[in-house]
Structure 1
Amino acid sequence: MAILTVPKVLREKLGDEGVEALITLLNEAAHHERNNLLGILEERFERRVADEGARLDKRIAEEATRQEVLLAETEKRLDHRITEEVTRLEVLLAETEKRLDQRIAGEVARLEALLAETEKRLDHRITEEVARLEVLLAETEKRLDQRIAGEVARLDKRITEEAAKVDNRITEEVAGLRQQIAAVDNRITSEMARMGERMAGMRADLIRWMFIFWVGQLGTLIAILFAFFR
């Protein structure tokens, strides 16, 4: 650490150069002492660290040995305990299996008996239901036969009525068609008469025009012959 101030009395005694030299000397001495102190502290620290490391290594080795011994003993005890537990569980499992087999056998016998009783009751109930359904089916069939017979009779009556209506309508339609046919025949007859009259007129006109045509042709021919022989 540098010296910043010097007492006034000492400065007056030594002068400025002496003060500067004194300050430099003191700084160098302080620096040297600090280096020596740091070296000593560093050596002590390294020695202490080495001692502590050796003690820790020794303690770690002792603890590792002790833990290994303890682990071996614990493993041995656990193996023995596991063997005992496995044996006990095997015995318990055998007893449990035996009890379960007995219980299963009892339950199977009980269920078989219950199943037989249930099957017997169901057979009886099915027989009763079949008989009831057969009776109901017979009654339903009888009612349906009666209803079908009634519907057939009603339909026969309705068909007869509809057939009579259709016959009447056909008769009326035939009479109407006959009247229409007679009217058409009369119309055709009148049209044929008119066509005959028109054809007679056309025939007379055709004969007249043919006569005029041939007379003209004959006159032309006579004129040509007359001109030729003249």
Structure 2
Amino acid sequence: MSVITIPRVIRERLGDDASDAFATLINDIDIGARKDAIAIAEERFERRLVEEAGKLRLELRTEIGKVNERITLEIGKVNERITEEVGKLRVELLLEIEKLRSELSVKIENSSKENIKWMFLFWIGQIAAMVAIIKYFVIK
């Protein structure tokens, strides 16, 4: 705060009390003017701050929209790639299953042939044993 001095000529004309009152009045006017200037500056600052915050929000929304679009595109690409890979795996699995089926069929067929061979050998052995038993009891 600045100190106001009243020139001697004015002081002599007004007197000491009036000069002091005049200085107080000028100081009060100065303080009021400063308060008004600060209030106006605060209002301007707040208005500018609100405007800039609005611009920033708009920019942020725009950027978020762009990011969301990019994310959506990337998710679409990933989904396509997953679908493609799943299709490839499905084909590979079907081929592998068919291969295992054919191998299993061959093994079952070979196993059946082997079982039939041993069944015939068992039957021949049983017939030979029955013939031997019948000969033993009939010939005696």
Alignment TM class, shorter chain as reference: 0.5 to 0.7
Q: CA deviation at 1:147?
A: 1.9
Show the counterpart of 1:190: 95
Q: CA deviation at 1:228?
A: 1.7
After TM superposition, the runs of 4+ consecutive aligned structure 1 residues lying more than 4 A away are 127-137
Aligned partner of 2:44 among 126, 132, 139: 139
Instruction: Write the letter of the residue equivalent to 2:122.
Output: Q
What aligned pairs does 1:115-130 form with structure 2 within 5 A after superposition?
Answer: none
Greater relative contact order (Cα < 8 A, sep 6+):
2
Q: CA deviation at 1:130?
A: 7.6
Show the counterpart of 1:156: 61
Larger radius of gyration: 1
TM-score, scaled to structure 2: 0.62
Q: CA RMSD in A?
A: 2.5
Q: Distance in 1 between matches of 2:52 and 2:87?
A: 52
Q: Deviations over 1:190-218 (max 9, x none)?
A: 11221221121012112112112312222
Show the counterpart of 1:214: 119
Q: Distance in 2 between matches of 1:189 and 1:169?
A: 30
Q: Distance in 2 between matches of 1:207 and 1:166?
A: 59
What SS class does the counterpart of residue 186 from structure 1 fall into?
helix
1:180 maps to 2:81: no
Instruction: Write the letter of the residue equivalent to 1:183.
Output: K
What SS class does the counterpart of residue 204 from structure 1 fall into?
helix
The percent of aligned pairs where both chains have the same amino acid is 10
Aligned partner of 2:106 among 189, 195, 201: 201
List runs of 5+ in structure 2 lacking aligned partners. Answer: 1-27, 136-140
Show the counterpart of 2:18: none
Residues 226 and 134 (structure 1), Cα distance of their counterparts in 2 relative to 1, 3 Å cut: farther
What aligned pairs does 1:10-159 form with structure 2 within 5 A after superposition?
Answer: 135-159=40-64
Instruction: Write the letter of the residue equivalent to 2:51.
Output: Q
Instruction: Write the letter of the residue equivalent to 1:179.
Output: E
TM-score, scaled to structure 1: 0.40
Q: Distance in 2 between matches of 1:133 and 1:223?
A: 127
